[in-house]
């Protein structure tokens, strides 16, 4: 993986973390944000299965309460992914 690609993924995840910690947490709104962000940033282009899985899980929370994660769980998932990039 190129350094540039890793930096781009790190920036993407950091933007999502900044979003979730800077405002009240509403799972449906957050899921829509992640879904749109993943499309806008074309996150699939990295070919990173773990990133794709994370975007699917977080974007999929809009499917209903049974798919919701707490704000703390979401932040932990995101930070855990970031730790794999370093």
| pLDDT value at residue 2 | 67
| pLDDT value at residue 78 | 97
Domain range annotation of the chain: 3-85
Cα–Cα dist 39/34, whole Å: 9
The pTM for the full model equals: 0.88
For the segment 1-46, what is each residue's pLDDT rounded down to a tens digit? 567 778 899 999 999 999 999 999 999 999 999 999 999 988 888 8
Q: Which of 35, 44, 45 is nearest to 67 (CA)?
A: 35
For the segment 40-82, what is each residue's pLDDT rounded down to a tens digit? 988 888 889 999 999 999 999 988 888 899 999 999 999 999 9
């Amino acid at each position: 993986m190129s350094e540039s690609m890793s930096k781009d993924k790190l920036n993407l995840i950091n933007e999502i973390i900044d979003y979730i910690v800077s405002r009240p947490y509403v799972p449906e709104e957050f899921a829509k944000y992640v879904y749109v962000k993943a499309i806008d940033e074309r996150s699939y282009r990295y070919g990173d299965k773990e990133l794709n899985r994370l975007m699917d899980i977080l974007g999929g929370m809009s499917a209903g309460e049974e798919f919701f994660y707490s704000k703390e769980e979401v932040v932990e998932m995101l930070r855990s992914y970031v730790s794999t990039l370093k």
